[in-house]
Amino acid sequence: MATQAIRVPMSGPGDVSGVETLFKNKTIRAEDVIAILAKTEGNGCVNDFTRGYSTFAFQTLLAETLGVSRDEAGKRIAFVMSGGTEGVLSPHAMVFTRSRKSPGESNGGKRLAIGVARTRDFLPEEIGRMSQVQEVARAVREALRDADIEDASDVHFVQIKCPLLTSERIDEAHRRGLTTATVDTYESMGYSRGASALGIGLALGEIDEEKLSDDVICKGWELYSKVASTSAGVELLNCEIILFGNSTHSSSDCIVGHSVMKDAIDREAVYTALRSVHIDPDSKDKSDLSRIVNVFAKAEADARGYVRDRRHTMLNDSDINSTRHARAVVGGVIASIINDPMVYVSGGAEHQGPIGGGPVAVIATVAHNN
């Protein structure tokens, strides 16, 4: 099984020219594409329609290239779009391919393996509750099998695109005499992200099921996954899951590793993530940084109102949502370390790493001496 990960810049939410060029140049085959993950330049909030626009554009490209309907392309390939490129973050897409026609053993050790899966559609009253947690856990286990990863400790990042509540979806539940986790549409993004993250933790054995209930979602912050990255959007009703790990069944030229940031300015965690893929951030020779395919991270404004014992005001800004502040901060920290602002940072880290922090993962090509 050969897995590829390629990063391409985007000039706008509908720009698919970079991926189209990869097809035309025969760098990759459309038949081998299993997932596309992108950062778009919207606000990342409930009304961020750049995510749906980008999904539509990429689905259309793949449908035309494969000679299938757009719906069929959507079923074959996981499309995960995350809005918000505040600060220096640069819009881009990650294309992931997999060919099972290649040899099933790696060239030495464990290499990058990717699994994809989907949940069923959720009813409004299920979003942000245990129904979502349990269904996500089922789908994550499916993605683990799809990646041919036998040990959950070899999983280093799980990206999920999950649904949110709109006023129409809330009203629909109320008409049936049911309640929703919240009636605040923006707040529902956090509940959905949190439930999805807890589902990842449950599936990978990070969290015991007996500790989980509706009451701990977005409240019991001591429960979290160290590899979860979840992003909510209005453009879907189910969860799209992309799982990244290393497997002996992969012949990829890449590996993935991770660490966990304790807060938004935790440079040491980024260094640790780089070292996990055999890149020395302290080396005077910075050429090794060219091996980085991309860095993926979660960001959030610490709910306690402090970073390193200094008061922050991200949660008190009524003009700009706190997730936008947090993405800008974490994006700047990572960009300053790897000398590249084209990195993937997703806002809102409920149950994704410790409160105020979040996972950070690195995909890199394998060094010749490793």
Cβ-proximal residues to 9 (8 Å cutoff; 6+ apart), any chain:
18, 90, 91, 92, 342
Question: Of 54, 106, 231, 259, which is the active-site residue?
Answer: 231
* 8 Å CB contact between 345 and 297: yes
d(CA 84, CA 194): 19
Question: Of 39, 82, 106, 161, which is the active-site residue?
Answer: 161
Name the nearest CA neighbour of 247 among 97, 158, 146.
146
b/e string for 163-179 if b means 16 or more Cβ within 10 A?
Answer: bbbeeebbebbeeeeee
CA 339 to chain centre: 22
Residues, the chain: 370
Catalytic residue list contains 101? no
* 8 Å CB contact between 243 and 94: no
Strand 310-311 to 254-261 pairing: unpaired
Instruction: Indicate the helix (H) or strand (E) that contains 9.
Output: strand 2-9
Could you say which DSSP state residue 223 is in? -
Cβ-proximal residues to 72 (8 Å cutoff; 6+ apart), any chain:
63, 66
Catalytic residue list contains 231? yes
Encoded tokens for 115: 């699994």
What burial class does residue 307 get, using C-beta atoms within 10 Å of its C-beta: 0-12 exposed, 13-18 middle, 19+ buried? middle
DSSP string across 74-122: HHHSEEEEEE---TT---EEEEEEEETTS-SS-SSS-EEEEEEEEPPPP
Name the nearest CA neighbour of 260 among 352, 347, 363, 345.
352
Cβ-proximal residues to 152 (8 Å cutoff; 6+ apart), any chain:
144, 203, 204, 205
**Which residues belong to the active site?**
161, 231
